[in-house]
Chain A
Amino acid sequence: MSQEKASGRTLREPVQLASGGRLPWRLEYDSSRIRTPWWTPIVSVALALLLCAIFIYANGMSPVTVYSKMFRGAFGTSYGITETLVKAIPLLLCGLGIAVAYRISVWNIGAEGQLTVGAIAATAVTIYFPNLSGFWSILLMLIFGIAAGALWGLFTAIPKTHFGVNELITSLMLNYVALLALDYVTFGPWKDPKGFNMPGSPVFTDAQSLPVLGGTRLHIGLILALVAVVIYYLMIRFTRWGYELRIIGANPTAARYAGIHIKRHIIIVMLISGGLAGLAGMTEVSGVSHKLMQGLSPGYGYTAIIVAWLAKLNPLGLVVTSVMFGGLIVGGFSVQTIGLPSSISEMLQGAILFFLIAGDMVTRFRIRRGA
């Protein structure tokens, strides 16, 4: 690497595939091609759809019918579009948090757990302070949700910075802990006494619910999320903190020699990441489900990873991809009516991520004539 940069020319290195150079052409790895062309995400998504079409076909369904039904379910009606946007809100918030962390290669995959504890903490406000006015209860729920998510993020950051523990393992283990805590409160102490013995907290009052936009199911969390996107863009682009993040992301060794506190940045980034996911949990519980219950999130925290990666951590791209994946989740639910499991959208998500990371690298190879 260093030599390439010093001499200012590209080192092309031939890659031998299994044929061992007997073919009339060969592949060359061109390490100067760091920027991937704009069309790779589109091709990746198309190939993922194609791969999953094979599984759908093997299940005895027509892939065209299934995909068009998914698309119409998500974007075909005004109800579908509203649902898609409602699902895009937590994806955007979690994806934003993940993008901040991934900028400096902190692989936080714990957004699901951070979202869950955010929802639990917001519900705690409704349980222990049931008679607050609308403004105060919403404000307190926001603070509690964000603080709990940030704390959960801190539990991932401290083991990494001070004990050298891989954040992937910690953040994922904490997801399971958070989900078990959710089970505990919904089956145990917070169970609604009037809920016919179903697990779940009492339904929130109007004072505890987020205001909705124009009589739809779309709530004010959408505006919170968009504000967060703008702040993220401004912070990364125009502040010293954002500049330091970009340096750490580009070259951690150089950043350390330049005197940037990498550990401090990891902690800050995980606090932000967890806080945003906690905010998503709060808006979910207060704006959509209006009570704490199991299955609060259909894997938003995991989908948000792909949302962030597909957007290449770019704030504007995040808005687009979160709406797209919101649509994918809604479309996944809509094909249940023709007897397909909704896990089809999960499968598609994994396939998209596979082709995405492959696409990033494939475009760095070039085909040349001659063995």
Chain B
Amino acid sequence: MDFVTQLLIAAISAGTPLLLATLGGILNERAGIIQLGAEGLMLMGAVTTCVVFLRTGNLGVALLATLGVTALLGLIHAFLSITLRANQTMSGLAMTLFGSGLSAYLGKSISGNPLPSSLPRLDLSFLKPIPVIGDIFGNLDVLTWFSIVLVVVLHLLIHRTSWGLHLRAVGDSPATADVMGVHVRLIRYGYVTVGAMLIGLGGADMVLTVAPTWNEGLTGGRGWIAVGLVIFARWNPVRALLCAYFFGALDSLGFRMQLLGSAIPPYFLKMIPYIVTILVLMYLGYRNRNKPSGTPESLGVPYVREQRF
């Protein structure tokens, strides 16, 4: 395998947690709720997977538990921002702080214990004769395939079904949606919960593929990068796939250059994803300065029935 193929494989591997988290963020924000707790949710997803997997030895149970825990956390955020109309920024921040504290607390006893196994892989040997594609797609794990399928499903859901129309209406103009008989609060609750579950699954994927053991704060800001990727992808699942793999490539590029014996200290290489996130967002802001950015119009605004605008 040449360098480019290896980099592509590494990009998909490092990009899948980002992709899952970004898709979760897109669902949240399309429904008009900002989810800044992605970092805390990913950490909770990762620690739940580790604890349950080590306790029961069953990966399926671990993933189900992860979905359950993150759904509960998503419901807390939903309750605060939808029913109580609290400040969504602060609620997300609280989620991040609480998630990183609780995950460190729960994971203390299993820190450093290697997991019994990693994700099962889908063996597509018949692809092997095709040069690059065979190398990349021949041996991906199930969560990666799930995330790729999810991109297609969400794209169709958001842009081609009446459910997606309701979702976009709730995010853009909840008052109009409400008048048309769409249950704004129920839809927001639903998507915030599902979005949180996807973000948690991203954390689980991270711990299962990138680092096969729990360490305190192992996501290292990837939840926040995913929050930026939602904007970068302009709330579109297909673009989210490309953006997540691009950042996955950046993430693994530093590691690979280190292996090749680069003279640049590794600390500077590790800075690349963070700095590129800022630069990309600045570029997008500059390019879209006179255009609609694709932001759901009621993002972050609590919906109050009977309130005049």
Contact = CB atoms under 8 A, between A and B. Distances in A.
Contacts of B267: 180-181, 183-184, 187-188
A344 interface: yes
Contact of B281 (A163, A175, A351): A163
Given A174-B278, A346-B100, A348-B101, 6 more contacts: A55-B106, A163-B281, A166-B231, A169-B224, A345-B101, A361-B86
Given A13-B305, A172-B221, A184-B267, A353 B93 contact: yes
A213 B196 CA distance: 49
A163 B289 CA distance: 8
A183 B265 CA distance: 11
B306 A360 contact: no
Interface residues of B, number: 54
21 contacts: A1-B308, A13-B305, A17-B83, A107-B89, A163-B286, A163-B289, A165-B282, A166-B228, A170-B278, A172-B221, A173-B221, A173-B274, A176-B274, A184-B268, A350-B99, A353-B97, A357-B80, A358-B84, A358-B86, A361-B80, A361-B84
Interface in B229-243: 231
B274 to A, nearest CB: 4
Contact of A354 (B94, B224, B307): B94
B99 to A, nearest CB: 7
Interface in B76-124: 76, 80, 83-87, 89-91, 93-102, 104-106, 108
B139 interface: no
A137 interface: no
Interface string A235-276: 000000000000000000000000000000000000000000
B33 to A, nearest CB: 14
A159 B90 contact: no
A165 B93 contact: no
Contact of B94 (A3, A13, A357): A357
Contacts of B308: 1-3
A346 B282 contact: no
B98 A353 contact: yes
A353 B94 contact: yes
Contacts of B97: 302, 305-306, 346, 349-350, 353
Contacts of A109: 93
Contact of B275 (A1, A168, A173): A173
A246 to B, nearest CB: 19
A176 B274 CA distance: 7
**Max chain B C-beta neighbours (<10 A), residue from A175, A176, A187, A349:** A176
Nearest to B76: A354
A347 B101 contact: yes
B61 interface: no
A144 interface: no
B36 interface: yes
Interface of B: 36, 40, 76, 80, 83-87, 89-91, 93-102, 104-106, 108, 216, 220-221, 224-225, 227-228, 231, 265, 267-268, 270-271, 274-275, 277-278, 281-282, 285-286, 289, 293, 304-308
A166 B34 CA distance: 12
Given A180-B271, A302-B97, A343-B216, A165 B285 contact: yes
Contacts of B36: 168
Given A169-B281, A172-B224, A184-B268, A346 B101 contact: yes
A139 interface: no
Contacts of B90: 309, 353, 357
A327 B220 CA distance: 27
Interface string A169-204: 110111111001101100110000000000000000
A341 B293 CA distance: 44
Interface residues of A, number: 54
Contacts of A11: 306-307
A159 B104 contact: no
A316 interface: no
A357 B271 contact: no
Contacts of A181: 267, 271
A343 B224 contact: no
Interface string A273-315: 0000000000000000000000000000010011001000000
A120 B10 CA distance: 34
Contacts of B99: 350
A110 B83 CA distance: 29
A165 B98 contact: no
A164 interface: yes
B109 to A, nearest CB: 9
**Max chain B C-beta neighbours (<10 A), residue from A165, A174, A184:** A165
Given A188-B265, A357-B91, A358-B80, A344 B101 contact: yes
A341 B80 contact: no
Contacts of A347: 98, 101-102, 104-105
B105 A344 contact: yes
A360 B86 contact: yes
Nearest to A184: B267
A29 interface: yes
Given A159-B278, A357-B94, A13 B105 contact: no
Given A55-B105, A341-B108, A350 B281 contact: no
B79 to A, nearest CB: 8
A1 B307 contact: yes
Given A341-B105, A357-B94, A184 B80 contact: no
Nearest to B223: A172
A347 B40 CA distance: 11
A128 to B, nearest CB: 20
A362 interface: yes
Interface in A310-368: 341, 343-351, 353-354, 357-358, 360-362
Contacts of B84: 358, 361-362
A128 B211 CA distance: 39
Interface in A117-176: 155, 159, 163-166, 168-170, 172-176
A212 interface: no
Contacts of A172: 221, 224
